[in-house]
A and B are shown apart, each in its own frame.
Chain A
């Protein structure tokens, strides 16, 4: 099996050192521009409002959820509203929304739960004007925790939907 990237997707700024780091974990599944699943830093300057770094760090690329829930809190809605606005002003970007669960659950259920969370974020972005064909979703279930402790402090960060920017070079 060779490393494969999703069709037509390409990482932006692949020549940047940060992107090399992103890829250094050896995972074949695409990490996009600053990955939710690995917690890598997006390229660009955080002071540049058109950069993925700004999207990730200034706006916030992720929203978190309550235990076994996929409803969006007020805070999550305001983060997603800002993401929608940014995507509106930066039409060259598309995004994959990654849904994740904490480890308190069976593997299959958590895959389905992560999918619900990603879909909830996607629906909200669409309701704020982002075209549905710019937004894909994928669930990692409990396969890619960001935090490793077995306590709520970690679980609360792992129950997340992360908007990972991508660009479709072939339009």
Chain B
């Protein structure tokens, strides 16, 4: 899809409004500070985009609903429903009657126009700061095909989110995960990929072999995962576009698992087990140049690179229990960073580089948490019978993870939560789901 700056451009992005946000009670521009944990979401209105062209009305309605679902789904925004609207937007270019939107307490107004010509789709939109009576940022236009209408909706929502929060968006992204079906003692697992909101699910493998923990490449076009296809867990790589996979660690009878890409997209860090002992290794994406980074009789696994590629965070039970450690990307001495009560595993470095997400086990409960990269400011975001395996949204503001329920009928589902611990919500998948991995923002 091509992104075109339209002729609508008028003025610059920031500093146009003087709205007061109820939760943060800030003076100054229409702005949400995500890190402060927004309690009162910002009310907005998004009337159906104005349609022109055959089939435009239906697409315009669906597209508007996806935008609203993206924004409200963050927990930072609350939609003023169409039933309550006084104003009607029938002409995208006509001046906005701010009083109509003030009266229904919509602090932000999003208007748009959808034009369909054959299979070509053009979407224009504008964001208004209602209480200061001014447009927020510039009008923008996206052009593509009608088949890609959901992605265009996500792009509009990303732009709106970005303008109001000052952060990058995350809606135009995908999630690869393990789709689970069948009873607990005969669980079928297969790789699946979907939009971040659960739409457009596509299966990447069948369920003839156990598959675990898929991870995206930095560009989102490849997925590393562990498969039992040979009878032993081994690292595989899959080309998402071609749905074509191959094994990259094929030493007979040697287990390798927990792979992740380095930020260079060429190096793979993973765990390998020799004689019952698990250590961390790297290799290139073709399985060559294998290097051992840790050499200890303890369990070293779940490695994850810092975004600059210079460091690796991993878990080890060298102290007697599972804890988190950071070492140079070349191996060598590791520094322990987790010191709270309980066990820590599955560390994942935030794409912003500021935080490490992890799974914590304490007093028979599981938590998803975040801490700074030196281990300070630990914060637990969730608690349940079994939460594990966090993955970061592309903007480092939301975490998706696996939640498994208790007992004989227990099943795994995907959930997301923001880094302040708010807005915990299930991610809809056709079957059960586990081991999610969030893609980078799509280009």
Contacts and interface: CB of A to CB of B under 8 A. Distances in A.
Interface stretch (B14-22, B158-166, B208-216): B208-216
Interface stretch (B122-130, B149-157, B252-260): B252-260
Contacts, number: 136
Interface string A139-171: 110011111111000000000000000000000
Interface residues of A, number: 47
Find the residue from B252, B257, B317, B435 having the highest chain A CB count within 10 A: B257
Contacts of B258: 108, 111
Given A109-B315, A119-B276, A4 B230 contact: yes
B322 interface: yes
B407 interface: yes
A136 interface: yes
Interface stretch (B36-44, B109-117, B140-148, B384-392): B384-392
Interface of B: 183-189, 205-210, 212-213, 228-233, 245, 252-253, 255, 257-258, 271, 273, 275-278, 299, 301-302, 315, 317, 322, 345-346, 359, 361, 385-386, 388-389, 404, 406-408, 410, 435
Contact of B183 (A115, A144, A148): A148
A105 to B, nearest CB: 7
A28 B209 contact: yes
A137 interface: yes
A42 interface: no
B359 A113 contact: no
A145 B408 CA distance: 11
Given A115-B277, A150-B406, 12 more contacts: A25-B186, A27-B209, A105-B361, A108-B271, A108-B301, A109-B317, A111-B271, A116-B278, A119-B277, A143-B212, A145-B185, A150-B385
Find the residue from B185, B186, B210, B257 having the highest chain A CB count within 10 A: B185
A107 B361 contact: no
B255 to A, nearest CB: 6
- 3 closest residue pairs by CB, A with B: A119-B276, A112-B278, A6-B231
Contacts of A137: 253, 276
Interface string A1-24: 111111101000000000000000
A29 interface: yes
Interface in A16-59: 25-30, 38-39
